[in-house]
Amino acid sequence: MIGLSKIKHFYNLFYLRGMSKLSIVIPAYNEEGSIVETLESLYQALQQAEIDHEIVVVNDNSKDQTLSILENLQKSISSLTIYTNPGPNGFGYAIRYGLERFKGDIVAVMMADLSDDPQDLIAFYRLMVEKNLDCVFGSRFIKGGSTHDYPKHKYIINRMANTIIRMLVGIPYNDSTNAFKMYRKNTIEGLKPFLSAHFNLTIELPLKAIIRGYSYDVLPNSWRNRKAGQSNLKIKEMGSRYLFILLYILIEKYLSRNDYLKK
């Protein structure tokens, strides 16, 4: 006899997967050297996995040929949607622009510089559907995770920052600054309004989700340093912005009297 847990498992695998369109929001600023390989590899992987999807690229007012390259790619990538963020500009603003416009039931945030692996995206999606989770987060620093050509000074700052976040917020998740994460559409709605304009959005979204009681799981993911272009992350400029979001999270956790918990 098939147990209830197995029936639920098969329901999630077949019915919910069929009903769960995946959107991928990708911010892009001056990514002419990476965007073609990033989108072509992503599209090919999603097609092979037979996942209903849309790829939403937000051109963050690029000064190079990123936009014209994107427009040309639409001829070969049928699921590609392009927006140009008129401003204000910045990593966080670009993602927020995409999060207001995606059409799927599930949304993932990925980078335009080929640092994230499309196979990890597929694993995230399948886990979310199978377990009916609200969020799936990646960690490069658990068993199975990896980094390639990670600058040493950034690695040290990353591990220190994540240790501080984990201790202060009281969570086991050890890679909050990782941009590669996935959410259900109703989870995104429950995390609004967004406060971050820049890379601090990478910690605002997961920390809000965790303290507000949304279900999540963590999978290992790989990260590769960009092959072309320059990183837009300026560590000296981001310290106070990360601290601002962290302080907000602590205030909400300890003083909001559960007003923002998932209903």
**What kind and span of H or E run contains 83?**
strand 80-84
> pLDDT at residue 174 above 80?
yes
pLDDT (tens digit per residue) in 53-79: 999 999 999 999 999 999 999 999 999
- All structural domains of the chain with their residue ranges: 4-255
Q: Which DSSP symbol is given to 192?
A: P
Q: How many CB atoms lie within 10 A of CB 261?
A: 12
CA 32 to chain centre: 21
- In angstroms, the CA 209 to CA 187 distance is 8
The whole-angstrom separation of Cα 133 and Cα 187 is: 10
- The pLDDT mean for the chain works out to 92
Residue with tokens 């302080």: 247
List 55's β-bridge partners, or say none.
24, 80
Q: The domain at 4-255 falls in which architecture?
A: Alpha-Beta Complex (3.90)
Question: Pick from 247, 178, 252: which is nearest to 216 by CA?
Answer: 178
pTM over 0.85: yes
Measured between alpha carbons, how far is 96 from 195 in angstroms, rounded to an integer?
10
| pLDDT tens digits for range 187-245 | 999 999 999 999 999 999 999 999 999 999 999 999 999 776 565 555 566 789 999 99
CB 24 within 8 A of CB 42: yes
Question: 13 phi and psi, to 5 degrees?
Answer: -65, -40
